[in-house]
Amino acid sequence: MQGTVDDLIKWSQLNRLNINSKNTKELILGSVDKDSVAPLTVLSTVVERVSQFKILGIMVNSDLKWDDHVAAITLKAGKRLWFMKQLRRAGVCQNDLLYYYQL
């Protein structure tokens, strides 16, 4: 994998694209023994190995299951509903409620 990452870095430098090594993550998929896999490095920085991360608004985990994503969406919806309920109790007019709902 390190060879592929090095090729990607060379390509990005030739095409004037910067890779931020601090924002680069490694996610190992499948039943591979994660301790036996050597850590990746990008521009002399060891890449952080994670079990899940968010990309384009979707939570991806190493199992490729939807549990984490559904939990995150449910939590977000619950917070928004609580906020709307508090606004309604405070007597906010319907047009303003609609505005906050669409945010």
Can you give the pLDDT of all 103 residues of the chain as single tens digits?
Answer: 899 999 999 999 999 999 888 888 999 887 777 677 888 999 889 999 998 989 899 999 888 889 999 999 999 999 989 999 999 999 999 888 888 888 7
- Are 7 and 15 contacting, i.e. CB atoms less than 8 angstroms apart? no
| Domain count within the chain | 2
The answer on 102 and 77 residing in a single domain is yes
Q: How far is CA 25 from CA 37, 55, 74, 77, 81, in A?
A: 15, 11, 25, 27, 33
- Residue 72 has a pLDDT of 92
- Residue 56 has a pLDDT of 92
Q: How many CB atoms lie within 10 A of CB 49?
A: 14
Query: Which of 50, 66, 91 is where one domain is finished?
Result: 50
Report pTM. Answer: 0.63
Q: How far is CA 59 from CA 11, 15, 23, in A?
A: 28, 29, 16
* Residue span of the structural domain in which 24 resides: 1-50
The answer on 70 and 43 residing in a single domain is no
The answer on 46 and 8 residing in a single domain is yes
DSSP one-letter code for 30? S
- Residue 97 has a pLDDT of 86
The answer on 76 and 45 residing in a single domain is no
